[in-house]
Amino acid sequence: MSQVILCEVNNCKYWGPGNKCKASSIYVVSKKGKQATSSEETDCKTFAPRD
């Protein structure tokens, strides 16, 4: 199944035109090891800065 992952972090090496993430997979974790109740309590571990 094809999916579109949107991302506005344009300094990430996986960021692409149209705010589309070009990573082959996405890894998201909850902050501080606790159960997340909102998106603000999560972090994208896939992020890598552009060269």
pLDDT digits (tens, 9 = 90+) for 4-49: 999 999 999 999 999 999 999 999 999 988 899 999 999 999 999 9
Residue 5 has a pLDDT of 95
pTM: 0.80
Higher pLDDT, 2 or 8: 8
- Please give the Cα distance from 32 to 46 (Å, whole number): 17
* pLDDT beyond 80 at 1: no
Range of the structural domain that residue 21 is part of: 1-51
Residue 8 has a pLDDT of 96
Number of domains in the chain: 1
